[in-house]
Each structure stands twice: as C-alpha cells, then as structure tokens.
C-alpha cells in the first residue's frame, strides 16, 4: 500500500525503517473520480495528497471566471491547497482530480504532529516547501520573461506528460495562454 510513497520519501531523505513505519500509517487512502473537487475555494484545505495514480490540479478562478492552473501533480508528486495547509485558513484555490486517481493523503493536524515528534520529518517538509517555492518562482519568471511559444516548447521538453495526458483547456490554463494560442502552437509542431 505504501510502496510508492516509501520510495518517494526515501528519495528525499535518509530515514530509519522504524521512523518510516511510524509515519506511514498517518497517510490514508482515497479514490477520486475524474473532475472531482477535493478542495474548493473557501473551504479548509487541510490535506496534503500524494498521487499514486492519476493527476491532481491546483487552480484559481478569477473574477471573470477564467481558470489559472498553478500546479499539476501526476504520479509520485504531492499536491494540496498549500496556503490553506500552512496557514490554517480557508483555501483561495481549488484542488481537482483531472483523472480517476488513487491518492494517499495526510491531514494537517497529523502532519504537524509528525513534525514535532520526528525531526527527520522536518527535512521532508523543508524539501517539499523548497520544491514548491522553486517551482512557483520558475513559473512566475516564465510568465514574465518568456513568450507563449517558448513556454510551450519548455513544457514539451521538461514535462511532455502534461500535453500528452491533459485536455487543451488545462494545458492552456497551465501555460497562461488562450486555447486558440495553444492550438496554433501545437499545429506548428
């Protein structure tokens, strides 16, 4: 049940089998159907999800109703309404399963308990926060410094799974471009 999560954690830090055996049972299984919302704007986003199978999307909706995808988590990635999770406030974003998904999740209360009880878990948390910071900063920088064509080419090179598995609407939202622009870019390849 915990094989993928065990491998994911062991890739991030050196942890004893005993500590790992104590931490893993705090993660619970969850099956999510395609398009199911796990967290909605205004709800508490107190779960952190590990994707065993499928894909989760973290996104915002602006006042005009336009969606903007912040994060896509395929197999062996984490996702959640991170601001809500960290600050214990209601979510400003949505977390949605884009495919039928098999997940392991941990509640905020349990996650922070583990931080107090197992110092090694702080290293895992730091790694996750650093990854989130670098990923979000690089995405913001790409919006400021790159045109749509360059962002699309980089996505094809760095994360082709996004274009292969997800609908154009989501890919365009992730690239912060219109679906029409995405269609033009795809037709040139």
- pTM, full prediction: 0.92
Number of domains in the chain: 2
Which value, in Å, is the radius of gyration of the alpha carbons in the chain? 17
Containing structural domain, residue 174: 146-189
140 with 152, same domain? no
Distance CA 3, CA 70 (A): 28
123 with 185, same domain? no
- Residue of 55 and 188 predicted with greater confidence: 55
116 with 165, same domain? no
On whether the CB atoms of residues 19 and 118 are closer than 8 A, the answer is: yes
131 with 151, same domain? no
183 with 101, same domain? no
Last residue of a domain, one of 123, 144, 165: 144
Give pLDDT tens digits for 112-159: 999 999 999 999 999 999 999 999 999 999 999 999 999 999 999 999
Tokens representing residue 77 in the block: 């990635």
Percentage above 90 pLDDT, the chain = 94
Distance CA 29, CA 52 (A): 10
φ/ψ of residue 100, rounded to 5 = -55, 130
129 with 93, same domain? yes
**Beta-carbon neighbour count of residue 91 at 10 Å?**
22
The DSSP symbol for 120 reads H
On whether the CB atoms of residues 42 and 76 are closer than 8 A, the answer is: no
Mean pLDDT of 23-38: 98
């Amino acid at each position: 049940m915990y094989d993928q999560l065990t491998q994911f954690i062991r890739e991030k830090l050196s942890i004893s089998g005993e500590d790992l055996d104590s931490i893993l049972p705090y993660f619970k299984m969850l099956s999510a159907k395609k398009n199911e919302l796990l967290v909605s704007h205004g709800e508490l986003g107190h779960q952190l999800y590990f994707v065993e199978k499928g894909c989760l999307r973290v996104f915002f909706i602006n006042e005009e109703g336009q969606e903007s995808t912040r994060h896509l988590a395929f197999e062996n990635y984490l996702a959640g309404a991170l601001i809500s999770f960290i600050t214990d406030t209601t979510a400003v974003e949505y977390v949605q399963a884009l495919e039928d998904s098999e997940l392991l999740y941990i509640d905020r209360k349990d996650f922070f308990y583990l931080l107090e009880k197992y110092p090694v878990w702080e290293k895992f948390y730091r790694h996750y926060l650093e990854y989130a910071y670098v990923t979000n900063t690089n995405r913001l920088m790409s919006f400021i410094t790159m045109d749509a064509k360059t962002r699309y080419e980089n996505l094809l090179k760095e994360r082709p799974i996004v274009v292969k598995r997800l609908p154009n609407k989501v890919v365009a939202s992730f690239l912060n471009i219109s679906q029409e622009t995405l269609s033009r870019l795809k037709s040139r390849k």
